Structures are given as structure tokens and as C-alpha cells.
């Protein structure tokens, strides 16, 4: 298995002897090599927490996360991360932003140059190499974000609501772009979203998370790509996922991570 999340618990509360509130409570989930997996759930259900655990930015309280059978102990070049807020260096050009990773990793200058040009072309930014992020639209900034993550040649691409800040039309276009890039490079993708249609449009499988810190279910999306979001079958997936997420509607007004006795 490319990625294995095994019985992971995570709390941000300071430890107390009697109880502890868990954002994630025994999450087990796998992703196969080259799979497009989405994490779907209401705000606060722990999607980013799970992604940050896989990225190695934070550690689980219990359980473990493995990439190619090796336990994740921290961030690594095998995992590329794309955030909603782009997180580009404003004082670097498009080219410099994308070349940064390979340079830090010690890739020889000539190779880094070639890789940077290749990923600039892949995300459709040829001609914008010397532009600064401030002069780019949101969609273009996110293209830089994707190219920058891919320039480290990660085998797992982690994306936390990467299109959340974009307008509807740009967002739709970027979904298509992401699919094209994914098919070309074929990394394993873990994609966080709270948009049901976005999850259905993109994913091989959708892991639905709930506000109790567990997985509500895992839905394989058995539709050929590109997917028509108006097709009856597509809408059936949307409806089924809406129903799964409905479980949380009642509790979402008093959103509190589940409490659990510690041993």
C-alpha cells in the first residue's frame, strides 16, 4: 500500500488523566499507488488535521501513518503539499518559486533548471516564468503552487482545499487541469474538500469524515473520466454523499470533538 493510516488518534487538548477530546478517533484508511483519494466532511471534522499528520507536520497520539511501509516521522520530499492559501514566496518569481525545492534538495543547477521548466510547462505557465505572484490571478497562483509541489517529484501529493479560494468558473477549470496533471504524472493524491461535486468529479474513492472523529464511510466513485456533473449517475453519488453528511447536521450546531476515556 502506498499510504496507510492505521488507527490514528489525534487530540489538541492538553492531556488530562481522565479524558481527552479527540479530533480524530481511530481513523484507518489506505491509498493505493496512483490513487486519487478525497477527504470529505463538514468544517471542523479533522480533514486538515489528517492531512497534516500525513504530511508529517504533526504527530498522532496513537496509531501510525506509513508511506511505502515506512512510518512517517516528519515532513519529507516524498510528500508534496498544496495549500488553499498558495503559500508562495512573494519576493520570488514564478520560476524561482518552483526552482526553490529542487535547489534546497541539492539538485544540480542544470537539472533543477530543466525540471523547473518542465513543471512550468506542465501547469500551463510558460511565458510567466519571470512574473511575481502578486501579478497572478488566483488560478495561476495555484498552478504555481501545484508546480512547486511537483518539482520535488513527490510520490504523494497532499492538497488541502487547493481551489477553495477560487471563483466557481476558475475552480471548475482547475479541476480539469488537476485531472490532466494527475493522469500525466500519476502521483497518489489525497485531496481535502468540503465540496461534494468536487469530490465526485475528481476521486477514485471518497473518505467521508464525521464530527465524531471517525470515518462515516468510504465511497468508490465508479464513473469514467471526464465526468459530467449533470449526468444522472453523477447526481446519484452527490445525493448519497449528502445523506452521509446529513448525520452531522444535527450535531453541527454544538460542534464538539468526541470525548473518550484514556485507557
Ligand X SMILES: Nc1ncnc2c1ncn2[C@@H]1O[C@H](COP(=O)(O)OP(=O)(O)OP(=O)(O)O)[C@@H](O)[C@H]1O
Out of 49, 152, 155, 210, the residue judged to bind ligand X by CB under 6 A: 49
Q: Is the peptide bond before 106 cis (omega within 30 degrees of 0)?
A: no
Residue 49 within binding range of Mg ion, rule CB under 5 A: no
60 binds ligand X (CB under 6 A): no
Q: Does 53 bind ligand X (CB under 6 A)?
A: no
Q: Which stretch binds Mg ion (CB under 5 A): 8-16, 42-50, 53-61, 179-187?
A: 42-50
Q: Which of 8, 29, 45, 53 forms a contact with ligand X (CB under 6 A)?
A: 45
Choice from 59, 64, 180, 194 touching ligand X (CB under 6 A): 194
Of residues 46 and 154, the one with the C-beta less far from ligand X: 46
Q: Return the residue of 3, 5, 20, 46 that touches ligand X, per CB under 6 A.
A: 46
Closest distance between ligand X and the C-beta of residue 19, in Å? Answer: 16
Nearer to ligand X, 188 or 210 (CB): 210
34 binds, among ligand X, Mg ion, none (CB under 5 to 8 A by kind): none
Residues at the interface with Mg ion (CB under 5 A)? 48
Amino acid at each position: 500500500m502506498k499510504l496507510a493510516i492505521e488507527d490514528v488518534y489525534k487530540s489538541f487538548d492538553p492531556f488530562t488523566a481522565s479524558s481527552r477530546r479527540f479530533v480524530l478517533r481511530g481513523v484507518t484508511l489506505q491509498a493505493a499507488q496512483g490513487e486519487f483519494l478525497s477527504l470529505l466532511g463538514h468544517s471542523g471534522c479533522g480533514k486538515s488535521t489528517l492531512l497534516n499528520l500525513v504530511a508529517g507536520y504533526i504527530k498522532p497520539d496513537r496509531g501510525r501513518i506509513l508511506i511505502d511501509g515506512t512510518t512517517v516521522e516528519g515532513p519529507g520530499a516524498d510528500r508534496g503539499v498544496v495549500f488553499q492559501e498558495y503559500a508562495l514566496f512573494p519576493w520570488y518569481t514564478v520560476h524561482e518559486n518552483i526552482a526553490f525545492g529542487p535547489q534546497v534538495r541539492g539538485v544540480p543547477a542544470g537539472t533543477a533548471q530543466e525540471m523547473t521548466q518542465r513543471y512550468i510547462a506542465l501547469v500551463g505557465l510558460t511565458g510567466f516564468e519571470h512574473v511575481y505572484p502578486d501579478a497572478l490571478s488566483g488560478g495561476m497562483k495555484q498552478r504555481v503552487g501545484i508546480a512547486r509541489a511537483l518539482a520535488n517529484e513527490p510520490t504523494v501529493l497532499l492538497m488541502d482545499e487547493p481551489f477553495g479560494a477560487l471563483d466557481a468558473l476558475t475552480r471548475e477549470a482547475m479541476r480539469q487541469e488537476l485531472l490532466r496533471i494527475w493522469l500525466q504524472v500519476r502521483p497518489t493524491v489525497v485531496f481535502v474538500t468540503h465540496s461534494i461535486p468536487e469530490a465526485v468529479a475528481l476521486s477514485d474513492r471518497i473518505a467521508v469524515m464525521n464530527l465524531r472523529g471517525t470515518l462515516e464511510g468510504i465511497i468508490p466513485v465508479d464513473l469514467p473520466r471526464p465526468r459530467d456533473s449533470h449526468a444522472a449517475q453523477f447526481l446519484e453519488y452527490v445525493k448519497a454523499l449528502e445523506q452521509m453528511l446529513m448525520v452531522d447536521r444535527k450535531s453541527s450546531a454544538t460542534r464538539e470533538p468526541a470525548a473518550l476515556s484514556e485507557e
